Amino acid sequence: MNYEFATPYALLLLLLIPLLILWLVRYGRRRRSEIVFSDLSLVKAVRPGGRIWADFISPGLKILGLTLLIVALARPRTSSVNVETETEGIDIILTLDISGSMKAEDFKPKNRLYVAKQVIRDFIKSRTSDRIGLVVFAKESFTQCPLTLDYNILLNFLDEVTFGMVEDGTAIGMALANSCNRLKDSPAKSKVIILLTDGVNNAGEIDPVTAAEIAKTLGIKVYAIGAGRPGPAPYPVDDPVFGRRYVNVENEIDEESLRKIADLTGGKYFRATDEKGLKHIYEEISSLERTKIKTTQYLQFNELYLYFLISGLGLILIEVVLSQTRFRKLP
């Protein structure tokens, strides 16, 4: 809340107050009347009363009343700003591949799934008013977390994602269909799927391009991310006798299908070859799918001049009444 004057130039009239005081002092002395008494003994016997203050109270009431009237003329008021914010949230499904190939350790410091989870965690934290859900898939697909605004719950579900939750395989088409099913009844103006995979569709009854056609029909945009460096990648193999060892496994990503999925739905295809690149991709998607925020400000004023006006007029009225009664002077 701020205090201000609507017409502050009126306060310049306060400069006249010292001149008024000077004039009252000089004029009051000039007007002072005298009465001639033949015997002052009776006057000396009278004790001074309240009337002795008339020379101070009456001018004081005039000056104070006039000061308050000048302040009222400047229109003091308080102002406050009310802000109304409207948001158009986006519904986002994060579709994450948890097949065995995501164990490849070409994304330092650990495997692809570990790095993907860390980057997705940062992406979730960067959003504010969007509903976000999580779908994971290997040979089959299931919803790990439905659309929610409770990001803490979503992050807890993300932490629980690991290998072996479903049988190994890569059902990209089924994952997209499941994600579309989660968004089909969404009232949001913008519906988005962010698909991350490192393989080729080899399971499920629905072809990825067919699933993309479904997404297009429902007005869902798909951003597809192919994860993995070109060429062979170190893949851990746990041997019961010799312990863990690494073998080089060729990285196979069906980039053509992923690019077609993105193009059909109005999205975009990305290739991530390391953690830094993956972070940049999610940041770019976040900037492309920015929540629209409409802010309207209302400035409200509360006028205070009436208090000063009434007080000033009241003081002047009191001075007039007192000057005609208790403080009345003889000519």
* pLDDT digit string, tens, across residues 210-246: 999 999 999 999 999 999 988 888 888 887 777 788 8
Burial class (CB in 10 A: 0-12, 13-18, 19+), 208: buried
* Whether residue 86 has pLDDT greater than 80: no
Nearest to 196 by CA among 290, 123, 89: 123
User: Helix, strand or coil for residue 71?
Assistant: helix
pLDDT of residue 163: 94
Over residues 174-185, the pLDDT tens digits come to: 999 999 999 999
Question: Considering the entire predicted model, what is its pTM?
Answer: 0.65
Q: Which domains does the chain have, with CATH numbers?
A: 2-33+47-81+298-324 (no CATH), 90-290 (3.40.50.410)
Over residues 25-36, the pLDDT tens digits come to: 776 555 555 555
CA distances 74 to 14, 140, 329, Å, are 11, 75, 35
Query: Mean pLDDT, to the nearest integer, of 43-64?
Result: 64
H or E element at residue 191: strand 190-197
Q: Which of 57-61, 201-205, 316-320 has the highest mean pLDDT?
A: 201-205
The residues with which 2 forms a beta bridge, in sequence order, are: 79
Per the model's pLDDT, the better-predicted residue between 15 and 121 turns out to be 121
Over residues 157-176, the pLDDT tens digits come to: 999 999 999 999 999 999 99
CB 204 within 8 A of CB 167: no
DSSP 226: E
Task: Calculate the average pLDDT of the chain.
Answer: 84
Q: Which residues contact 294 (CB under 8 A, 6 or more apart)?
A: 85, 86, 87, 88
Confidence class for position 296, pLDDT limits 50, 70, 90:
low
